[in-house]
A and B are shown apart, each in its own frame.
Chain A
Amino acid sequence: MTRAATERSIKINVRNFSFYYGDFQALDSLTLGIGQNEITALIGPSGCGKSTFLRSLNRMNDTIPGARAVGDVLLDGKNIYDPEVDVTELRQRVGMVFQRPNPFPQSIYDNVAFGPRVLGTARRSDLGDLVRQSLIDASLWDDVKHRLHGSALNLNPGQQQRLCIARAIAVKPDVILMDEPCSALDPVATLRVEDLMRELAEHFTIVIVTHNMQQAARVSDQTGFFWLGRLVEFDETERLFSAPREALTEAYITGRRG
């Protein structure tokens, strides 16, 4: 939060970005800069386009028939919607954690090793260390070090979500997108994941969708407020929650709308 006062370095620059599902316009000319090593929170009521925007940042929307993106998303200055961009390479750099924990029905080890294996980013001999380090970074190592080869599905939901985070960071992305990562977790597990996010922000740029405003206020540096596909306000988190510029934002965060 103090970091923002000094100069920010922009990791993802979104310019006039619109998104359509067929004829339906889900996002309307968004412009914002997502700062490097910051946590950016996206808040707003259900159906206002938060997930759509998040999935636009690693092109997970590509598979939806009839979906169309207009405008630029510059990652380190390069437009990710350029035709020559390799989508698998993009997704390695921009990882994703989903709303419901979705570990593969395989061992804990295989889950974390999945990315390095398919992308060929780690030598066989380094794989064990990489898995271990990723689990440590996801603060899951102590829970699972004695059962790395047990099924990931035997973990509790909080552990499963941290496993998914470990799986995402094992390919050493620059950016991690999280779509309501705590909505399936109990309060204790939620706090653990929030702590983890703060630690991860040292190494990664994080964008998190949440409709829990306390969570946004607790963890994020910058917050964007979405409303019906538009970005109503985007500012430092402290500022947005204490002195919103827009009446709509104020109405939402004080609980009069939503």
Chain B
Amino acid sequence: MANLTEFARERYAQAALRARPASIWLRRGWSETLIELLIRLSGLSTIAIVGLIFLFLVREGLPTFLDIPLRQLFSGRWYPIEGLYGLWPLLVGSLVVTAGAIIIAVPLGLTTAIYLGEIAPPWQREILKPLVEVLAGIPSIVLGFLGWVTLAPIIQGLGAPTGLTALTGSLILAYMALPAIISISEDALYAVPKEYRDGALAIGATQWQTIWRVVLPAARSGLAMAVMLGIGRAIGETMAVMMVTGNAAFVPDLGLDMPLSPVRTMTATIAAEMGEVAQGSLHYSVLFGIGIVLFVVTFTINLIAGRLVGSVVRRRGGQL
């Protein structure tokens, strides 16, 4: 009896093994297969397009790094007309403007989100939140105008030789990054369960201690995301920055008044000069070379951000 069932079970298992591939094909049918194929194709095409863009960038930009000695590339003089292609001023320009924007936008954005999410009475929230959305909808070129017309004179009033400076660019950029930072961090704060706040308050923590020691840590991966997206917006922005930074391609003196000097960013350089160069010339390649540098920088930042968020998640036992 026992042998018989044993035997039957084995036969059944073998049959099932043999039958499985065929039956899966039969049950899925051709529409299932087609859908899967389409999804696979669209996924692969996205990857392929990114790859092609990168290849194109490399092909057009490569002469930069082959034909120009590295020493010249890192020199301080960007005079394309005289054949001098020093990228250093543009790198420094981008760095100063972006760093300035981050320093302004991150604390301002986070505190605004905390105010909106945790402190403001409901009627204020109802007025302020739509305003933030409106801010997000302002085209960057309009902000550029504003910077030119109203911000620049104020900056000049501070004692700068001109109103079109790195600081002007940072302020405009910060403004542009703010809506993303505010609304994403507010979402992150909103996602923190009320039970955590109750728990802290019930022990005798003040509202501020509750926010600082419970709510913010609980929301930190979302907050990190908000900051990274804000920074991403700041680095990629071109037109407004081109309008208000003065477009002077030389390295400002190191010092406290560095933000008050006119600079030129990498993105602004590409946008301004692309229309004037002969296709295939060295100048043309160098503009693509700048594109490669931008690509590498952005990629690195995203990579670091990914690591940061990942390690935070791991440290907290897999809990976002």
| Chain A residues close to B by CB (< 8 Å) | 58, 60, 63, 88-92, 95-96, 98, 100, 102-106, 114-115, 117-119, 150-151, 153-154, 164, 167-168, 171
B203 lies within 8 A of A92 (CB): yes
Pairs A-B, 8 closest by C-beta atoms: A151-B317, A92-B204, A102-B195, A96-B202, A91-B204, A115-B203, A88-B204, A102-B199
1/0 per residue, CB under 8 A from A, across B192-215: the answer is: 010110111111111001000110
Chain A hits for B196, CB < 8 A: 102, 104-105
Q: In the complex, which of the residues B195, B202, B203, B319 contacts A153, with contact meaning CB atoms closer than 8 Å?
A: B319
B316, CB-defined interface residue at 8 Å: yes
Q: Which residue of A lies closest to B320 (CB)?
A: A105
The answer to whether A104 and B203 touch (CB under 8 A), given A118-B209, A151-B319, A153-B317, is no
A60 lies within 8 A of B319 (CB): no
- A8–B317 Cα gap in the complex (Å)? 47
B193 lies within 8 A of A102 (CB): yes
B218, CB-defined interface residue at 8 Å: yes
Q: Which residue of A lies closest to B208 (CB)?
A: A118
Q: Which residue of B lies closest to A88 (CB)?
A: B204
B316 lies within 8 A of A105 (CB): yes
B195 lies within 8 A of A150 (CB): no
Q: What's the A-B contact tally at a CB cutoff of 8 Å? A: 77
Decide if the interface of chain B is mainly helix, strand, loop or mixed.
Answer: helix
A91 lies within 8 A of B317 (CB): no
B217, CB-defined interface residue at 8 Å: yes
Q: Please, could you name 16 A-B residue pairs with CB atoms under 8 Å apart, sorted by A?
A: A88-B206, A89-B204, A98-B195, A100-B195, A102-B193, A105-B316, A106-B217, A114-B213, A118-B204, A118-B205, A118-B209, A151-B316, A151-B319, A164-B199, A168-B202, A168-B203
Decide if the interface of chain A is mainly helix, strand, loop or mixed.
Answer: helix
Chain B hits for A150, CB < 8 A: 317
Chain A hits for B319, CB < 8 A: 105, 151, 153
B202 lies within 8 A of A95 (CB): yes
1/0 per residue, CB under 8 A from A, across B253-277: the answer is: 0000000000000000000000000
Chain B hits for A168, CB < 8 A: 202-203
- A160–B202 Cα gap in the complex (Å)? 17
Q: Which residue of A lies closest to B192 (CB)?
A: A105
- A91–B209 Cα gap in the complex (Å)? 14
A104 lies within 8 A of B209 (CB): no
In the assembled complex, the CB of A94 is this many whole angstroms from the nearest CB of chain B, namely: 9
In the assembled complex, the CB of B19 is this many whole angstroms from the nearest CB of chain A, namely: 42
The answer to whether A58 and B209 touch (CB under 8 A), given A104-B218, A105-B316, is no
- A92–B319 Cα gap in the complex (Å)? 29
- A100–B193 Cα gap in the complex (Å)? 12
Q: Which residue of B lies closest to A93 (CB)?
A: B204
Chain A hits for B193, CB < 8 A: 102
Q: Which residue of B lies closest to A151 (CB)?
A: B317
In the assembled complex, the CB of B226 is this many whole angstroms from the nearest CB of chain A, namely: 18
B205 lies within 8 A of A60 (CB): no
Q: Which residue of A lies closest to B214 (CB)?
A: A104
Chain A hits for B205, CB < 8 A: 88, 114-115, 118-119
A105 lies within 8 A of B218 (CB): yes
In the assembled complex, the CB of A143 is this many whole angstroms from the nearest CB of chain B, namely: 16
Chain B hits for A95, CB < 8 A: 202-203
A115 lies within 8 A of B204 (CB): yes
